[in-house]
Amino acid sequence: MASLKTADTFTSATRVLLRGREGAGVSVPPIACGTWAWGDKTWDYDEKRDMAGIKEVMNALLSLGIPFLDTAEVYGSGESERLIGKLISELPDARNKVVIATKWLPLPVMPWRLMPRGIVGCLKDSLQRLGLESCDLYQVHAAWTLPYSHASVAKNLAECVKLGLAKTVGVSNYSKEQMIAISDLLDKEGVPLASNQIEFNLLRRLPETTGLIAAAHERGIVPLAYSPLAMGRLTGKYSAANPPSDKRKFSAMPMEEIEPLLVVMRDIAQARDVPVSAVALNWVLCKGAIPLGGARNGKQAEQNAQCLGWRLTEDEVQRLEAHSKEGKTNFWQKG
């Protein structure tokens, strides 16, 4: 399996191993598709308008050889999972090719979800919506596990694997220290921590500067980078005169502050004949993380895939990072 950080280049044939129990695991493409916008009214989802585009995405991902989908029970209150299940059922042999990752959201205001076997029950609900017997990766969406301990969460995650409901397990938005702690606890249960999904992009390099990504690599944990395009800010679509909407809160900052970075990104994109977004995604790959780029139609999926087949030079990386931002943590994002 490839190490993204040391790979000479990244292609659709590149595969990264998510570690599973007893030496097993799941081989995944170097880029994934985030599906928060699928079925979620937060992103103005309309079935009549958007379903055709979502089908285009699935077909494009299969054709490109990168069918890796990341969803969550909370996306559209389960509608994202239902849509994915419907698409898989309609496409011949799709289940044998598509990698499915979903998430459990711990909610202290709903303590029954945190009780023993609560995680297992929530996974069973997700699998029913997805129309699957098991998922490839099951993740804890956030580090909100109070009043229950990391040990309880680890035990229940491990149970998901032992019951055959999930092939691998991961976390999301965990800090370096939290990631290491739950990794150690899972090891005691005989199940490795496969991944940590964090917001990571040129406007939020915190997972790199805090040592989280390095610690993940040392332990065989795969960093998954959500919002690698900073909620569209790094696509080249937006500017100071045309800023993104208020709902794009991750990586929020005035476009005027981002413009120096976008100038460099446009220059590199033009020289390499790729979209601006591909530059942002390739930078994430160079750091040894799998970018989760969203797509609502086939064209966007194909544009995201143009981050493959090449690698930024050290000089290009330095030019980009000269105008990058560190970002910060908050109540949701610990890592």
> What is the separation, in whole angstroms, between the first and last Cα of the chain?
26
Question: CA–CA distance from 272 to each of 79, 302, 310 (Å)?
Answer: 38, 16, 9
For residue 177, the tally of other CB atoms under 10 A from its CB is 13
**Residue 174 among the catalytic residues:** no
Q: To 5 degrees, how large is the angle CA 84–CA 90–CA 93? A: 95
Scan for tokens 């698409």, then name that residue.
87
Q: To 5 degrees, how large is the angle CA 226–CA 231–CA 236? A: 120
List the structure tokens of 135: 């998922």
Which of 44, 41, 38, 116 is CA-nearest to residue 72?
38
Q: To 5 degrees, how large is the angle CA 331–CA 254–CA 144? A: 10
Which of 203, 295, 294, 283 is CA-nearest to residue 250?
203
**Residues in the chain, total:** 335
Which of 124, 157, 162, 156 is CA-nearest to residue 139?
157
Catalytic residue among 45, 75, 148, 238: 75
Contact yes or no for 255/238 (Cβ under 8 A):
yes
Question: CA–CA distance from 26 to each of 91, 157, 232 (Å)?
Answer: 21, 16, 29
Which of 226, 172, 175 is CA-nearest to residue 204?
226
Q: Which residues are catalytic?
A: 75
